[in-house]
Amino acid sequence: MNNKFGKITTLEHVLRFFQDGMTLMFGGFGGVGSPPTIIAGILEKGVRNLTLIGNDTGFPDIGIGKLVSRGRAVKVIASHIGSNPFAGKMMHEGSLEVEFSPQGILAERIRAGGVGLPGILSDIGFDNEVVTKGKPMISLNGKEYVVETALTAEVSIVFAKKADEFGNLIYDKSARNTNPLVAMAGKITIVEAEEIVPLGSLDPEEIITPGVFVDYVIPSKGVNWKWAWE
């Protein structure tokens, strides 16, 4: 296969983008749709002090949870940490800062970051200061809204079913979840794809993420963890 845009590469080549103290955004929901090969690479490289942005902290040995449960993160911005007991433990001990955002608002904050908007106005979660504390309020058309800031990251990591040479992506069933949003919000977006196909072999009508948002594509070695239901 050609590599006309130079986007198709290897895990070894993209590992240079993962550095201590960086902000890393990840696709996935409970580990489903999180890129296993890239996460294993980051873990092996020994990257520390990460700020992680994504739906949840996975399970201890599933998805991004692998990094969280091994103490590689100093901060997470997520909607849920309940399936990874290590995250809760470290939060209570003070070694992990957790910023909770309601799930759909988190998705919109990531989307805003990806579509060039500075933030969104929301009416979700006014009954809990975890959501509203320290955030500006805006009155619009007689109603109050909280300003939720957009989220971006130095690097976004994404899991796709298929990618072509240009980085056009399609996803697999519920493994899509936050991936199309995360793919747009990274300064550098790195995709792990189950299958890499030549230009023109994806039906343009079925492409979910246009390749303009994608910088690099690496082949997936497949899921390297055991699911909770197995």
Partner 1 sequence: MGMGIDTRNKLARRAAEEIRHGMVVNLGIGIPSLVPNHLPKDITVMFHAENGITGMGPSPNKGEEDENLCNAGGFPVTLTPGGSYCDSATAFAMIRKGIVDITILGSLEVSEKGDLANWIVPGKKVPGMGGAMELAQKAKKVIVLMNHCDKKGYPKIVEQCTLPLTSSRCVDLIITDLAVFHVSDQGLLLAEMFAPYDVTQVLSKTGCRVQMAKEIRKISY
56 binds partner 1 (CB under 8 A): yes
91 binds partner 1 (CB under 8 A): yes
Among 88, 135, 154, 188, which residue interacts with partner 1 (rule: CB under 8 A)? 88
Among 8, 24, 81, 218, which residue interacts with partner 1 (rule: CB under 8 A)? 81
- Smaller CB separation from partner 1, 23 or 177: 177
The whole-angstrom separation of Cα 118 and Cα 135 is 14
- Smaller CB separation from partner 1, 31 or 211: 31
HSE-CB for 114 with a 13 A CA cutoff: 25
In sequence order, the 6+-apart residues with CB closer than 8 A to the CB of 25 are 52, 53, 54, 110, 151, 152, 153, 155, 156, 157, 182, 185, 186
The whole-angstrom separation of Cα 170 and Cα 193 is 9
178 binds partner 1 (CB under 8 A): yes
53 binds partner 1 (CB under 8 A): no
69's enclosing H/E stretch is helix 65-69
DSSP β-ladder status, 216-219 and 186-197:
parallel
**x/- contact string, 61-80, with partner 1 (CB under 8 A)?**
-----------------xxx
174 binds partner 1 (CB under 8 A): yes
30 binds partner 1 (CB under 8 A): yes
Beta bridge mates, 209: 169
Main-chain dihedrals φ then ψ at residue 42, nearest 5 degrees: -65, -40
104 binds partner 1 (CB under 8 A): yes
55 binds partner 1 (CB under 8 A): yes
The whole-angstrom separation of Cα 204 and Cα 215 is 19
Q: Using CB under 8 A, list all residues that contact partner 1.
A: 29-33, 55-56, 59, 78-83, 88, 91-92, 98, 100, 102-105, 107-108, 110-111, 123-125, 127-128, 130-131, 161, 171-181, 208, 223, 227-229
